[in-house]
């Protein structure tokens, strides 16, 4: 017997639309990248261990753009850089 856990879909925490991580694009550009991470950890961390809470936000592509525009309009610019893989 083998138990498997498959990710069926992700639900946007803002608009509640269900989406697949790979279905964000129309499929015409298989090399497109659109990643977003918003995670907040609080708690205590000691050498012998610790406890805390973690909040992770999942957003669809439309809400990612809305979030970026909202943060920018509030004067929050973040750090922008270029990357090569």
* Three-state SS at 54: strand
Q: What is the pLDDT of residue 68?
A: 92
Other C-beta atoms within 10 Å of 63: how many? 19
Domain ranges within the chain, ordered by starting residue:
10-73
Give per-residue pLDDT as tens, 18-47: 987 655 555 567 777 777 888 999 999 999
pTM of the entire predicted model? 0.70
Q: Hey, which bits of 13-48 come out as E strands?
A: 18-19, 38-46
């Amino acid at each position: 017997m083998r138990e498997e856990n498959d990710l069926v879909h992700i639900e946007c925490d803002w608009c509640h639309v269900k989406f697949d991580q790979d279905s964000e694009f129309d499929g015409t550009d298989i090399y497109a990248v659109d990643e977003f991470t918003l995670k907040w950890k609080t708690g205590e961390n000691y050498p012998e261990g610790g406890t805390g809470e973690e909040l992770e936000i999942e957003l669809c592509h439309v809400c990612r753009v809305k979030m970026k525009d909202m943060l920018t309009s509030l004067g929050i610019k973040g750090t922008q850089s270029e990357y090569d893989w």
